[in-house]
Amino acid sequence: MAALASLATVVGAGASVYGSVRQAQQQNALNRAQVQISQQQEAARQEALRVQQAADAEARQRTLARTIATTRARLAASGLSPDGGSAGALTAGLTQEAAAAQDADDATLRARLAQGRVSLLNPDGTFAALLQSGRTFGFAARSLLD
């Protein structure tokens, strides 16, 4: 009768270990699917940020070109040479301000792109499940020895 109890304990421990390993495999597959979905969402978010950045840069360029053309036309209408002296410094200043604003936007874009990266250290639970099944098997072995 004691042999039957020991055999039942071993079979129960084996079933428990199998169940734990199977659960770990399912959890691992689920985690992989979640990581893939997360990566796809992150790629879509980054692409949206890049498209927005390109649209903002294009709008800034159009505004700069319009502002410089307007300034040059006003200076020419006033009788000043739009390319020389203070007029040239004014247009160069507008160009420098636009470049500085573009640099700031580029830095903001890089920070936003870096912000949403998924960590490579996300646990998948496989090792924990393996340890749990080993602990269950250890309890079964100890009960056999008692």
**Count of domains forming the chain:** 1
Q: What is the pLDDT of residue 131?
A: 58
Question: Which pair of structure tokens corresponds to residue 115?
Answer: 């912000």
- Dist. CA 16–CA 23, nearest whole Å: 10
Task: Provide block-wise average pLDDT over 10 residues at a time, the chain (146 residues).
Answer: 68 78 86 87 87 89 89 83 78 87 87 67 53 62 61
Task: Please tell me what DSSP assigns to residue 116.
Answer: T
Residue 68: give the domain boundaries: 2-145
Alpha helix positions (H), 78-125: 85-115
Residues in the chain: 146
Sign of CA dihedral 67, 69, 72, 77: negative
Q: What is the pLDDT of residue 132?
A: 60
Q: What is the pLDDT of residue 85?
A: 78
Nearest to 123 by CA among 29, 31, 25: 31
Answering whether pTM is above 0.85, one says: no
